[in-house]
Amino acid sequence: MNLAWRDAELHRTCLSSAEIARRWPASEATVQDLLATICHARDLAALQSYRSLQVQPVLDPRRGQMHVTVRLEEVEMHGSALTKTGERIIVPTEARFWDVAGQAPALLVENLNAGGTAFRMVS
């Protein structure tokens, strides 16, 4: 999957092993494993098939649409499914999530939480 980043600082952090270690020292290896696993997946449906990951659609009540959470152990990435041209895939209900967004080839990374420490606070 391709990753797009809502926050340039989060993107820079996730590009650097040293920055990941500084930000999440107790979860460094797991953060790197999660990023690598997501990048090697074909699409969201493929991510869902990996036994080591928990992939769940979650309703964003502020926007009235579904987002996705991808979890590996104590590390959680929050994002939105994107088309191959970078447009956000709007999914209004959890029941339709996999039908509408399962083939999404990209993810807009909105936040990363490791060991209880989020990169940015969600307001």
Residue whose entry in the numeric block shows the structure tokens 């820079």: 12
Rounded to two decimals, the pTM is 0.90
Q: Return the exposure string of 3-25: e unless at least 16 CB atoms fall within 10 Å of the residue's CB, then b.
A: bebeeeebeebbeeeeebeebbe
Q: What is the mean pLDDT of residues 18-27?
A: 95
Instruction: Write the CA distances from 120 to 1, 26, 104, 111, 112, integer angstroms.
Output: 23, 18, 25, 7, 8
Task: Judge whether residue 19 has pLDDT over 60.
Answer: yes
> Which of the 8 DSSP states describes residue 42?
S
pLDDT for 64: 78
Task: Judge whether residue 121 has pLDDT over 70.
Answer: no
One-letter amino acid for residue 115 of the chain: G
